[in-house]
Structure 1
């Protein structure tokens, strides 16, 4: 597009021109080798929220509501695109655990239950907190299912053209020098294959030795 055309559009739409976006909709546009640097901003955002609340005047019930409705909602959009590392998820859950149990003059209070048991449903004796690792896998599995069922969508056409032009998503391989979002979604393919079966019909497209059936 010519510079004159750009200026005309900027004037009509009342927009500003940016040379580079470090983030788009809260998601980093460039993921380098060090994922910890990129996702560190997520952890910092969570810490700022936790420090901003005066935990000493909050009851356990109030802390539970804040953690479930605010803190656990912060990484959800990011988890729909990227697979968070186990270390990152552990840091987030440790921060929530410390906030829930509290501290006295910089010293940690006794944690009466570990966080894994806190993530159990209340009917099973837990507190009903989300297991972020499972949550992350579920979000990425949803994106993988979109690629299975929506090959004609814009997302499906772009991903197919770049990563698996000669096969379906379920038959695709990870490949080399792939982007981190693609690697994250591709790794969730195993979740789809665990529960996916063929409805036999006339059997024309079923590979007897390879496809699950029931």
Structure 2
């Protein structure tokens, strides 16, 4: 495809094709002639017959030089605005006429990202998959596996770019809940444990199923990380031209306006929590603010030393500007507006001790994700950061044992929460039943009695423990 790219670039440079020109803040301009992904291609040009003629010649030259043929039968000509002679232009090129919105690489182009209808395809795919499973008997342990491996992964592609409306997230989670507790049954089944508990980590007593809205936030937050960490990718340059950059190019300016900014505006809503978990790795120090960026310690120096920051003369200085290489082995040249009082000298000593291990180097400045030593953004870690953990002690290691069948483990998990449907719980749900243990007939049936204290159960436990030599 490099041959096609070269032909298109030369046509644009020669003025035969116009491409797509982005011009935004500060008069910055950028031109995009085409986009390539595997064997899919988008080519931009003006809606003029002479440009379509040029494009048809380029495709013919590409075929002759590479022995590859563009499948025009599967290609479409899409006009961004209304064009009178679009049919004739499509004939000139030899393809069909398409329209917006359309689907490209599985994602909608120019669709209203907040419209509920945009997510109908995701919900329909999930319902079709559930319809296949309804004809099978699947244990609850198997349902957990299917939810995590299949149902939860179906919307991820869309979630990685668009914010899902809350009503859609609730509908998809309801499908997961109903499948977990009811399987393929059409009748309503009891949901024994609250969904908020189900969606917590196994270590905290849940099943580790991820909530869709939090997963959506974590996936959108990855774009904040990518913009800061990636060097000079095409998508980053386009976003930077359109919205402008601030903070030495680590982030974009706030999205303003109502047209054409919705997707990135939603992504920018995740910037605060993302940047709370991002710190700078100083190299040359030319793109890191000494006082206001977090590069030394667990917070910015302006937060750790607010009194010193108030006295600093150059509050917007970079790390490189504060570093004095003329000193022996280099050192920090801090300039303040006045001499220090005796009670302020301890602050200076603490600051210098904190700076003692940092040096300027020849490497480029970069960002690092504050986590478990990986230094890079991970969706799983970001999700756990956003999730509200339940403050409880749960014997997860005694329950989630690899060699035990999942349906047995699931029952043990329900029993640990005291949520199995014993007679006392059925009575609380409105069932008119006499409550008497069906094994011993002596006491009322509840979770602790039927599993631990019943005289019949205790005999069974003694037999089982004896078999294992306990």
Which stretch of structure 1 is more off in the superposition, 97-106 or 136-145?
A: 97-106
Matched, 1:4 2:56: yes
Q: What runs of 5+ residues in structure 2 fail to find an aligned partner? A: 1-50, 78-97, 302-470
More strand by share: 2
Matched, 1:193 2:245: no
Matched, 1:124 2:240: no
Report deviation, 1:106.
3.5
- Superposed, 1:55-204 pairs within 5 Å as 57-102=137-182, 106-164=186-244, 168=249, 170=251, 172-176=253-257, 177-198=259-280
Contact 2:160 2:220 in 1 (8 A): yes
Which stretch of structure 1 is more off in the superposition, 55-64 or 113-122?
A: 55-64
Question: Judging changes above 3 Å, is the alpha-carbon distance between structure 1 residues 6 and 54 closer, same or farther for their aligned structure 2 residues?
Answer: farther
2:76 to 18, 30, 36: 18
Question: Judging changes above 3 Å, is the alpha-carbon distance between structure 1 residues 23 and 148 closer, same or farther for their aligned structure 2 residues?
Answer: same
Report deviation, 1:202.
8.9
What's the counterpart of residue 45 of structure 1? Answer: 125
Scaled by the length of structure 2, what TM-score is found?
Answer: 0.41
What is the CA–CA distance in structure 1 between the aligned matches of 2:245 and 2:168, rounded to whole Å?
33
Question: Judging changes above 3 Å, is the alpha-carbon distance between structure 1 residues 33 and 121 closer, same or farther for their aligned structure 2 residues?
Answer: closer
State the SS of the aligned residue for 2:251: helix
What's the counterpart of residue 206 of structure 1? Answer: 289
Structure ID, larger Rg? 2
Report deviation, 1:26.
1.4
Question: Judging changes above 3 Å, is the alpha-carbon distance between structure 1 residues 206 and 169 closer, same or farther for their aligned structure 2 residues?
Answer: closer
Which stretch of structure 1 is more off in the superposition, 38-47 or 4-13?
A: 4-13
Question: Judging changes above 3 Å, is the alpha-carbon distance between structure 1 residues 4 and 197 closer, same or farther for their aligned structure 2 residues?
Answer: closer
More helix by share: 1
Report deviation, 1:200.
7.0
Which stretch of structure 1 is more off in the superposition, 162-171 or 65-74?
A: 162-171
Contact 2:138 2:183 in 1 (8 A): no
Which stretch of structure 1 is more off in the superposition, 185-194 or 155-164?
A: 185-194
What is the CA–CA distance in structure 2 between the aligned matches of 1:52 and 1:107, rounded to whole Å?
17
State the SS of the aligned residue for 1:57: coil
Contact 1:101 1:110 in 2 (8 A): yes
Alpha-carbon displacement from aligned partner over 1:124-147 (angstroms, at most 9, x marks no partner):
211111122221111111111111
What is the CA–CA distance in structure 2 between the aligned matches of 1:192 and 1:208, rounded to whole Å?
19
Report deviation, 1:4.
3.4
Alpha-carbon displacement from aligned partner over 1:5-24 (angstroms, at most 9, x marks no partner):
26625794241322347112
Question: Judging changes above 3 Å, is the alpha-carbon distance between structure 1 residues 89 and 163 closer, same or farther for their aligned structure 2 residues?
Answer: same
What is the CA–CA distance in structure 2 between the aligned matches of 1:101 and 1:144, rounded to whole Å?
37
Alpha-carbon displacement from aligned partner over 1:45-104 (angstroms, at most 9, x marks no partner):
111111221265111111111111111111111111111122211111111101111178
Contact 2:199 2:209 in 1 (8 A): yes
State the SS of the aligned residue for 1:28: strand
Q: Find runs of 4+ consecutive structure 1 residues off by over 6 angstroms.
A: 200-204
What is the CA–CA distance in structure 1 between the aligned matches of 2:183 and 2:228, rounded to whole Å?
48
State the SS of the aligned residue for 1:70: helix
What is the CA–CA distance in structure 2 between the aligned matches of 1:33 and 1:153, rounded to whole Å?
24
Alpha-carbon displacement from aligned partner over 1:100-127 (angstroms, at most 9, x marks no partner):
1117864311101122111112222111
Q: What runs of 5+ residues in structure 1 fail to find an aligned partner? A: none
